[in-house]
Amino acid sequence: MCGFVGCDETHTAGNGCGAEIDPEPISLRATMRFAKIVFLIAGIYGILVLSPIYFMEGTIGRQTPPTITHPEYFYGFVGVGLAWQFLFLVLSTDPVRYRPMILPSILEKLSYGIALIVLHAQGRLPASAFAIGSVDWIWALLFLAAYFKTKPSSPGV
């Protein structure tokens, strides 16, 4: 039997009542869509936020003294941060395939978020920087949701 409403015939693959069977269930497509959008927006957002920092060493030193005394750490942080944003863009292309990389992506967001909490608690970080940087907690939660949503539905998938 065909299995489509109103069709009682038996068909071979691709022949018959004209209804095509979608190999991806709707729930899997919705899950993939959620994860793809999360990582695409995260990557674009991160690139837009981090890229200008490359040109702000002097400004940062003037606005929040003292000046940066170890520029290698400054540029290293920005460079590594940007590299992660490109990983998020790769993840957005196929979150199920790259699912194992979601875990270190969550860690990347949590490590910065935890550092913010510690620095703020020590009085070494202004509330404004704490608030702006706390966006990473939102990304960590969205990444965690994407991780669980992309869990394979059956063994071996």
Residue 20 belongs to some domain of the structure: no
pLDDT tens-digit readout, 89-141: 999 999 999 999 999 999 999 999 999 999 999 999 999 999 999 999 999 99
Contacts of 134 (CB under 8 A, 6+ apart): 113, 116
Mean per-residue pLDDT over the chain, rounded: 87
Number of domains in the chain: 1
Residue 104 belongs to some domain of the structure: yes
Residue 7 belongs to some domain of the structure: no
pLDDT on residue 25 = 64
Alpha-helical regions (H) of the chain: 26-50, 57-63, 71-93, 102-121, 127-133, 135-149
Residue 15 belongs to some domain of the structure: no
Alpha carbon distance 151, 96 (integer Å): 8
Q: What is the mean pLDDT of residues 2-18?
A: 57
Alpha carbon distance 77, 58 (integer Å): 16
Residue 128 belongs to some domain of the structure: yes
**pTM (global) more than 0.85:** no
12 — pLDDT class (breaks 50, 70, 90)? low
Task: Calculate Rg over the CA atoms of the chain.
Answer: 23
Whether residue 13 is predicted with pLDDT greater than 80 in this model: the reply is no
Residue 10 belongs to some domain of the structure: no
| 66 prior amide bond cis, ω within 30 | yes
Cβ neighbours around 131 below 10 Å, total: 11
pLDDT tens-digit readout, 20-50: 555 566 676 777 899 999 999 999 999 999 9
Residue 4 belongs to some domain of the structure: no
Contact at 8 Å (CB) between 133 and 116? yes
Cβ neighbours around 136 below 10 Å, total: 20
Q: Residue 20 gets which letter from DSSP?
A: P
Residue 40 belongs to some domain of the structure: yes
155 — pLDDT class (breaks 50, 70, 90)? low
Domain that holds residue 46: 26-149
Alpha carbon distance 82, 75 (integer Å): 10
